[in-house]
Amino acid sequence: MTKSVIAGLPAQLDNSKLRALIDCAKTLTAEQLLWSSGYLAGMASGSAGAPTGSSAGQVVILYASQTGNGVGVSKKLQQALAQAGIGAEVFNALDYRKAQLKKAAAVLIVASTHGEGDVPDTAQEFAEFLNSNKAKVLKSLQYSVLALGDSSYSHYCQVGRDFDARLAELGAQEIVPRQECDVDYAADAATWIEQVTNALQQTLETTSSAPVVVSLAGGNDYSRGQPWQAEVLVNQVITGRGSSKQTRHLELSLEESGMEFLPGDSIGVLTPNPVELVDEILATLKLDPQAQVPGASGESVTVRDALIKDYEIVPIARPVIQNYVAIQPNDQLIELLEDDHKQELTDWLYSRDLLDLLVEQPLAGLTAEQLVGLLRPIQPRLYSIASSQLANSDEVHLTVATVEYEARGRQRSGVATGWIANHVVEGETLGIYRHENPLFRLPEDSQQPVIMIGPGTGVAPFRAFLEEREAQGAEGRNWLFFGDRNFTTDFLYQREWQAHLASDLLTRIDLAFSRDQAERIYVQQRMLEQSHEFYRWLEEGACVYVCGDATRMASDVHAALLEIIQKEGGLSAESAADYVSLMQRERRYQRDVY
Ligand SMILES: Cc1cc2nc3c(=O)[nH]c(=O)nc-3n(C[C@H](O)[C@H](O)[C@H](O)COP(=O)(O)OP(=O)(O)OC[C@H]3O[C@@H](n4cnc5c(N)ncnc54)[C@H](O)[C@@H]3O)c2cc1C
Ligand SMILES: Cc1cc2nc3c(=O)[nH]c(=O)nc-3n(C[C@H](O)[C@H](O)[C@H](O)COP(=O)(O)O)c2cc1C
């Protein structure tokens, strides 16, 4: 490393300064390095003043994140503060020593909501602490909250709202009002970062007062706005003939993209809406398909193109209903929007798309411009990466279950999975970008055993994990729990697991095919059947990973894990919960569920 640094050495930096810099850098953590890079860049551009925060009390950035968005936003915030001459440390809420909260000068919280209004796994202890009597009055603490969420969920941004309310209740001083961010969070998050940075520049009296400008559209990285057009090398059904569902294996070329990823990351896929659905919407409203409307980025496009490429028409989210009743009051919809009807609204929206709304609750005289004004921008869909770049450097693989269902007499396909199943031909391209998730990672110590629980498409990241472990020559043992409906048709990647068993890469596999016998059997039953061995692995330091269905599987597997620890460790329910909390702090229990 030293050599390559010296090769590009500017004349001003002599060897002794370089040596001092390298020696200092070696002692820093990844987060400290990041802060330093921002600070030095700020100094170079003349905008950084003396760093503050340590003497006047620390500026703390806390993220409560599950799928990684909050981590990226927190790092951007840290860089912006560094440019303004404000030193701040970024903490995963899991690692933050809560007692320090009262010593901090300011706490900036980036919190997402998961499940149905739930706190991310890594922030549960922090949330419990904040809501307990142990959290003392925090009058000298300044704070602000960025709440990440998705308005298609009824408990929109709930965790950010709750943190905000509790900090205010404890007497902390809000420096910038809570910013709620919907799925397209980049612009709102950037605005919040600028506001927070500028507010702290005032209150901490830094020597720099130059306003900071932030962009979350990450430099040269591919993003939802700027995807890589990946050639589709393979798009193949991997469920057998006669299966009750269809799952596909995709291989996409990354050649010349420069895109890098790690197992545990996902790929964002951008596809258009179904053309037939768009045409039916336009016919129902008797709108001219060529009418001009503002596209998602403000330019003028035909309403047909806008509905195909720019706006979300499946599923529909709460703000669409709010916009709808603002144009024409509608008693049924207004009732569904009331706070005590959240579950009814979720159920009502679940199987409905924009066409259902327009047919069931007609809105007379809706113009093309009003129509697109109702809608959120179209959203990419995420798919767990199913390959390792160490094993396939120029490719990324995905495992995609096709969504198909019938509702109110109409056969429907998922927007992305329907497109992949019906329109994506090998040799053509698909718009993709990397969605980083640093919260779902293999252990750094390759000797550590790994237990992977991934029924259905939840198995995808574990295919990547095993490829990575093999390519690294990792010696740690690997145990996979897989399940699906039927052995003969739904045993995804069966031959690969068998080959991995034969080569000893996979130490053991336990299978649960739910519909091969009278009573349903799921992976959590298999865990319980193996509870003695499972606990032995835990005691030997195994990391447990769970991926797949969030609605039932994740909570059932969590309950099974607690039961195993209680039974085999002879512990009370409370001690078993503490055991799992410790596993989380040690990064030995990670979940990526959807
Ligand atoms: C971090 C993450 C990782 C993921 N990884 C994977 C993965 O590896 N593989 C994978 O296949 N998926 C994965 N997903 C899910 C994926 O992102 C999409 O949500 C999924 O493929 C559906 O997208 P779609 O566009 O095809 O369906 P959409 O067009 O979004 O339709 C889905 C909607 O249709 C409705 N609906 C669906 N089924 C029914 C039904 N039976 N009855 C009535 N209404 C119904 C619901 O409103 C539902 O919200 C992941 C999600 C996340 C967040
Ligand atoms: C399984 C799942 C459940 C979610 N539940 C909610 C919810 O109840 N309320 C909400 O506002 N957002 C919800 N979201 C959206 C996330 O909060 C949003 O994607 C956020 O940007 C994620 O940030 P993170 O990556 O930092 O965790 C959910 C997302 C997923 C994948």
Instruction: Encode pLDDT of 440-464 as tens digits.
Output: 999 999 999 999 999 999 999 999 9
Supply 188's token pair: 């709102």
Domain of residue 589 covers: 450-593
Pocket test for ligand 2, best of 66, 67, 114 (most atoms within 8 A of CB): 114
Q: Are 203 and 142 spatial neighbours (Cβ–Cβ below 8 Å)? A: yes
Q: What is the pLDDT of residue 6?
A: 36
- What is the domain-level CATH number for residue 547? 3.40.50.80
The closest-lying atom of ligand 2 relative to the alpha carbon of residue 116 is 8
| Residues 144 and 196 reside in one and the same domain | yes
Task: Output the CA 182–ligand 2 centroid distance in Å.
Answer: 9
Instruction: Tell me the C-alpha distance between 111 and 60, whole Å.
Output: 14
67: nearest Cα among 591, 431, 558: 591
195: nearest Cα among 109, 80, 85, 82: 80
Beta strands in 395-472 (DSSP E): 395-401, 404-407, 410-413, 429-435, 450-453
Residue nearest to atom 4 of ligand 2 (CA): 114
Task: Output the CA 414–ligand 1 centroid distance in Å.
Answer: 7
| Residues 109 and 153 reside in one and the same domain | yes
| Residues 338 and 387 reside in one and the same domain | no
Buried residues in 226-247 as b, exposed as e (16+ CB within 10 A): ebbebebeebeebbeeebeeeb
Q: What is the pLDDT of residue 33?
A: 63
ipTM of the complex: 0.98
Q: Which residues line ligand 1 (CB under 6 A)?
A: 67, 266, 314-315, 350-351, 381-384, 399-401, 403, 405, 407, 414-418, 457, 460, 592, 594
Task: Output the CA 416–ligand 1 centroid distance in Å.
Answer: 8
Domain count, the chain: 4
Phi-psi region at 473: left, alpha or beta (left = phi > 0; alpha = psi -120 to 50)? left
| Contacts of residue 102, Cβ cutoff 8 Å, sequence gap at least 6 | 136, 138, 140, 141
* Spans of the chain, pLDDT less than 50: 1-11, 41-42, 45-56
- 5 part of a folded domain: no
Point out the domain boundary residue: 166, 186, 203. Answer: 203
Q: Are 2 and 22 spatial neighbours (Cβ–Cβ below 8 Å)? A: yes
- 443 part of a folded domain: no
DSSP per-residue codes, 121-166: GGGHHHHHHHHSTTS---TT-EEEEEEE--TTSSSTTHHHHHHHHH
Supply 354's token pair: 């924009």
SS3 1: coil
| Residues 420 and 504 reside in one and the same domain | no
| Residues 510 and 579 reside in one and the same domain | yes
Within 10 angstroms of residue 314's Cβ, the number of other Cβ atoms is 20
Q: Give whole-number Cα distances, 558 to 159, 174, 459, 542, 553, in Å.
A: 21, 36, 17, 16, 8
- 257 part of a folded domain: yes
Residue nearest to atom 30 of ligand 1 (CA): 414
Instruction: Tell me the C-alpha distance between 475 and 265, whole Å.
Output: 23
SS3 381: strand
Q: Give whole-number Cα distances, 93 to 125, 162, 175, in Å.
A: 8, 15, 20
Instruction: Tell me the C-alpha distance between 353 and 410, whole Å.
Output: 11
Instruction: Tell me the C-alpha distance between 375 and 366, whole Å.
Output: 13
Pocket test for ligand 1, best of 267, 278, 350, 403 (most atoms within 8 A of CB): 403
Q: What is the pLDDT of residue 49?
A: 41
Supply 387's token pair: 């390959």
| Residues 286 and 405 reside in one and the same domain | no
CB burial of residue 65 (10 Å; 0-12, 13-18, 19+) = buried
179-181 and 173-174: which strand pairing?
A: unpaired
CA–centroid distance for 36 within its chain: 26
| Residues 128 and 239 reside in one and the same domain | no
Point out the domain boundary residue: 435, 462, 477. Answer: 435
- 216 part of a folded domain: no
- 175 part of a folded domain: yes
pLDDT tens digit sequence for 73-102: 999 999 999 999 999 999 999 998 776 787
Point out the domain boundary residue: 186, 203, 220. Answer: 203
The closest-lying atom of ligand 1 relative to the alpha carbon of residue 437 is 1
User: Could you give the residue ranges of the DSSP H alpha helices within 213-314?
Assistant: 275-284, 303-305
- 422 part of a folded domain: yes
Instruction: Tell me the C-alpha distance between 390 and 396, whole Å.
Output: 11
Residue nearest to atom 31 of ligand 1 (CA): 414
CA–centroid distance for 560 within its chain: 25
| Residues 486 and 362 reside in one and the same domain | no
Q: Which residues line ligand 2 (CB under 6 A)?
A: 65-70, 112-117, 120, 148-150, 153, 155-158, 185, 550, 593-594
Task: Output the CA 382–ligand 1 centroid distance in Å.
Answer: 9
| Residues 46 and 144 reside in one and the same domain | yes
| Residues 459 and 584 reside in one and the same domain | yes
| Residues 387 and 424 reside in one and the same domain | yes
Within 10 angstroms of residue 28's Cβ, the number of other Cβ atoms is 12
What residues pair up with 266 in beta bridges, in sequence order? 384, 435
Q: What is the pLDDT of residue 281?
A: 98
Pocket test for ligand 2, best of 65, 67, 119, 154 (most atoms within 8 A of CB): 67
Supply 449's token pair: 């055993």
- 3 part of a folded domain: no
- 313 part of a folded domain: yes
Task: Output the CA 358–ligand 1 centroid distance in Å.
Answer: 23
Task: Output the CA 108–ligand 2 centroid distance in Å.
Answer: 19
User: Could you give the residue ranges of the DSSP H alpha helices within 273-432?
Assistant: 275-284, 303-305, 318-327, 331-337, 342-350, 354-360, 368-373, 415-422
Q: What is the pLDDT of residue 15?
A: 64
Task: Output the CA 160–ligand 1 centroid distance in Å.
Answer: 25
| Residues 501 and 405 reside in one and the same domain | no
